[in-house]
Structure 1
């Protein structure tokens, strides 16, 4: 560990010009990564200063400033070390040491008549031990010395069980909560006789009782000392056991705060009522519990309007922590919040290594001022933000910021629901970019518009959207026409290129829905109730966790493809070599229902015990061009262009079963014919830049012009009725078949293996 030589000046004094004169000199070595206490120990050892009876003040002069800089904590020590590293000359930045005598005082020595003034700014002054607080005392405004008060004598926690005269509390609020807890525990009630900034007096609720409590501040400081306490009750029993008035919403809020720190936990007023009854033995009303929860949440999160004031400093810190990010905020002419946009550098860097199919979506915030959370995603989040609502101006602004951050890539495509504002905004900002529809949202529109034969149309529609060949698509469209010709006309009007994979102007791969965006919204259901500052921070941390998890999975794999792509490749091989034609059709239907995002769920299938049938015949035409006969039908496969007439080779960008047959006959590795997007090396590059943690808020270095920036909450009027926690589901969602669980022993439904009384099924 590197050391620095430091010149000490001591036994001198400061003159009016800010110069340290009449001094003696010494020298010490300090370590670069030491602490302030280490510095104090080194100086006291070198100069022979007894810290039990003295304190030292460490100062040094800075060029251009007459006022000397004082080192009084670890941060000040680190600043000094950085200065010395740049100017290593022995005589540069000498430390000037001032020694002061101190006197030890105890809590009993702080009486009401003491001429003691405790300066809040130096109340937590670091001393040479961890057991004492150094307090600067003054008489008539002039400092008379530094005294030490043992920390054990100052009560700072509200769970204090014993109360007695002479105790010192860190402030009045702590004392009040201690007395409220004490009254509940001792089963009596009190009322306030006198309460102001310097005194706090209580008496029993019964007028004839002798119970008294008096406390006052120590010479108008924040410290409160118990002056008198008569804990003997002479009141009737009924006055003591009557309804407990000390169980206030403020007291209960302090008790339940720790249970509300996790926003995902559901902690209802009914739970609060039960916990208060169990812990305190007191019955409280539902309204009191509700108010206690509101106060606890306001204490933890602050007022909703104050959350907007934190945004300038928060966004500035993010911009400095993640250089290269694109972070913007828009305000109205009256400084009211409108929009915020965030693209971290980790997202921007990773976008170059993933398929440029961008899924956008919005979801409503449920905090006091509401708003709409919007996101743009590829493999994971690429950009996110908050807008006032899903309108043309807001979405246009969001896409403009996205274009500035990411530009336009070849084969790029936008996928969204059929929101009119999104459609208009994409056409304005990206006039030449394909804008495709989420096939699930389009189907919901069909479902609501044409209420006929939904079960038949649903299966046909989704197969048609994922069809690989023109023949398959036309055949399915004929079936749609037979069921309801109006649906065919509606789909034609929507544009085949919007929803059919076969007609898409770019390769959408398996990204046929907006599932990734919906998954982000689902992961943030509880977070959307937080104030905007806490919500944005929760989103940042969530994407940081995902980034770390995906990078870890990609770096630790031993396979040549990512997990879900490896499973797909193995499934194609199985279809190629081990299955007969009729079962091949079943697996092809299974593959057609695989979605880009949901494929991470392992595809489960069981190979029927049959005789292996190699039903593929490979006939080479050229080195790269082959004919594969599959059950009497010929498929032309070109390895050079990675194409097959079945359509799957070029769309999935994985060897289809026909290509697999050729690769096996030529003993070629299939991974060479897979998309680079599927390989772990590319996935690692996508998540190469981690989302580093933000520094603690107390360590933020915010410029004055940023700290003074005014951000007011948006104008908002509370809608009538009870706030909705869940969105209204449409008819198609309500009629969806629910997952039916079956017993793993007998295979029947209605129970599980723990309660099964049936015979095991034959395996």
Structure 2
């Protein structure tokens, strides 16, 4: 059976430079298939090569057609395209490469990965060693054996070929094995920051215990990733090491005991920031006396990476003493207060970002927020008449915007909704500005959904709050005496204030009818006398249809920053944090009480003294209670 051999490039992306298309790839492989290979067979072998699940990923195969004209890459989508591609590779002079890109289907890849979703490959060099029955096989040929002529049709930038690094390592090693592409990290090729070391774990112990052993040939996105992996490995296996040499292209680590044979040597690949382990001696010949309780590899940066999931969101309950206790219980190490504080600062920076970065992306975030959620009130006014919008701004929003009202005005009784939000955002105020706005957006999204669902499940004409208030007033009005004046005016005797009700104007001398815009007890008594429905005198704002309409809109998230499409004029805006001096002392966490607010002092339930509770009471436990009972 005739076979066609060609090169597969994967782990990269297409880049357009002028009119020319280039494929910047991460890995390459020579593959041989039968001339009668179908599209499904080729797609299966490529899926297994790049280790992509067809249900979760979209695999696109493209190639450059040999032509004097500059053409865009052709995508292979059916059997005819496969035959055209194989015909191109039948002749050595017209050979072209198959470039593969993998797109995840509706999945957001986080900036850090853990063991459960690591971006690694397990020795793809030996996956397909034989024919699979469909004429599709894989030749185990190393990238260094590829001829330069094989790349004449596609301009590529290789990050997987590093023959110069082999020449650097001429020193013998205790574990010389052929290089294998096991656990290949492809983050640099596809533009994703990945890490097999740390992720969203529930405890520090899970981070350390889930670290896998390294080996010769393992590839890491950067030198920092490699160093952090070795730190976690040392903590989990209870040994310590030191960095003997660290340059831009070389990293050498050894055990802290000079006579120990544990060694790691890694070098940088060409044209990228990835580091590959060249030599590794995993055996320790040192004694256990070298391990101290203050592990030198347990740096504040490493601990901060491991505990950053504790600070996601608005929780403030993870204290420094909790960090020290967790490190002691889960890793057996004694952590000082200063190192715990530095680790907490690192974790806060990783989980929430810095204030400067948050203010920098604030214009872009607001632009995307308006783009995803169109229809703001002021935007509608400006769309009709810009002069009207300017007039309203100059007229002071407190005179026409309900959200800016300061109390009773224009026959409307309002509440101080700002104080309610301050109580809800008590913990979220510690977040950077952009994360604070995103937290508020998430709360509004949740509230809108919950109230839409509540309105849909209501079986009464009014909202639950209004129905409860109406039922309470109706029960109290049954004993009132009503003296009609005319068809719509009534004098109601309640034995206290009495009331004069006008059902046409919806008024009562007790003023509750006007302020609440709901029938008061006097109005209920008048309605019962006339046998009319109380719902006819309720404001339409209390109807369940109004509630459903008020929360009928949907609030959408802005999506990940990588997918934002922000104009240049907005990206060029510079927003800096407000200037100000940090006050002395510990920052206040509680709101200062206003005039008239009484501070409730705590009183001990054991001794009765003000200023402490019974848990902190230093008085002896009495043999009997205050009543004299034993």
Which of the five TM-score ranges fits, normalised by the shorter chain?
0.5 to 0.7
Contact 1:154/1:169 (CA < 8 Å) preserved in 2? Answer: yes
Which of the numbers 458, 461, 468 marks the counterpart of 1:557?
458
Which of the numbers 254, 258, 262 marks the counterpart of 1:211?
262
2: CA distance, partners of 1:272 / 1:300:
16
Q: After TM superposition, give the deviation of residue 251 of structure 1 in Å.
A: 1.2
1:683 aligns with 2:562: no
2: CA distance, partners of 1:114 / 1:713:
54
Which of the numbers 477, 486, 492 marks the counterpart of 1:576?
477
TM-score, length basis structure 1: 0.53
2: CA distance, partners of 1:211 / 1:633:
92
Which of the numbers 44, 55, 77 marks the counterpart of 1:43?
77
SS in structure 2 at match of 1:628: strand
Which of the numbers 508, 513, 516 marks the counterpart of 2:412?
508
1:653 aligns with 2:534: no
1: CA distance, partners of 2:604 / 2:400:
44
Which of the numbers 299, 308, 312 marks the counterpart of 1:261?
312
1:522 aligns with 2:386: no
Aligned to 2:71: none
Contact 1:411/1:506 (CA < 8 Å) preserved in 2? Answer: no
SS in structure 1 at match of 2:77: helix
1:284 aligns with 2:318: no
Aligned to 2:442: 541
Task: Deviation per CA, 1:672-723: give whole Å up to 9, x if none.
Answer: 0111221112222222322222232221101222222222222232222222
1:223 aligns with 2:250: no
2: CA distance, partners of 1:246 / 1:53:
57
2: CA distance, partners of 1:278 / 1:405:
62
Task: Deviation per CA, 1:510-542: give whole Å up to 9, x if none.
Answer: x3x52x221101111111111111111112222
2: CA distance, partners of 1:562 / 1:235:
74
Q: After TM superposition, give the deviation of residue 730 of structure 1 in Å.
A: 6.0
Q: After TM superposition, give the deviation of residue 627 of structure 1 in Å.
A: 2.9
Q: After TM superposition, give the deviation of residue 46 of structure 1 in Å.
A: 2.2
Contact 1:188/1:241 (CA < 8 Å) preserved in 2? Answer: no
1:627 aligns with 2:528: no
Q: After TM superposition, give the deviation of residue 322 of structure 1 in Å.
A: 2.4
Higher strand share: 1
Go from structure 1 to structure 2 and tell me whether the alpha carbon gap of 1:168 and 1:721 turns closer, same or farther (over 3 Å shift).
same
Go from structure 1 to structure 2 and tell me whether the alpha carbon gap of 1:403 and 1:105 turns closer, same or farther (over 3 Å shift).
farther
2: CA distance, partners of 1:275 / 1:105:
48
Task: Deviation per CA, 1:535-569: give whole Å up to 9, x if none.
Answer: 11112222222222223222321111122111111
Go from structure 1 to structure 2 and tell me whether the alpha carbon gap of 1:53 and 1:254 turns closer, same or farther (over 3 Å shift).
farther
Aligned to 2:526: 662
Q: After TM superposition, give the deviation of residue 629 of structure 1 in Å.
A: 3.4
Aligned to 2:563: 699
Q: After TM superposition, give the deviation of residue 183 of structure 1 in Å.
A: 1.3
TM-score, length basis structure 2: 0.63
Go from structure 1 to structure 2 and tell me whether the alpha carbon gap of 1:181 and 1:114 turns closer, same or farther (over 3 Å shift).
farther
Aligned length in residues: 460
2: CA distance, partners of 1:406 / 1:53:
75
Task: Deviation per CA, 1:170-227: give whole Å up to 9, x if none.
Answer: 3322211111111112222111101122211012212333322211123353332222
Aligned to 1:531: 432
2: CA distance, partners of 1:287 / 1:400:
54
Q: After TM superposition, give the deviation of residue 668 of structure 1 in Å.
A: 0.9
Structure 1 unaligned blocks of 5 or more: 1-15, 20-27, 29-33, 56-69, 77-101, 117-121, 126-133, 141-148, 327-342, 350-398, 417-435, 437-503, 578-613, 742-749, 751-763
Structure 2 unaligned blocks of 5 or more: 1-17, 22-38, 40-55, 63-74, 90-98, 106-136, 149-153, 165-179, 187-194, 198-209, 383-388, 606-613, 615-630
1: CA distance, partners of 2:489 / 2:228:
84
1:723 aligns with 2:624: no
Go from structure 1 to structure 2 and tell me whether the alpha carbon gap of 1:740 and 1:518 turns closer, same or farther (over 3 Å shift).
farther
2: CA distance, partners of 1:238 / 1:114:
51
1: CA distance, partners of 2:289 / 2:553:
68
1:162 aligns with 2:213: yes
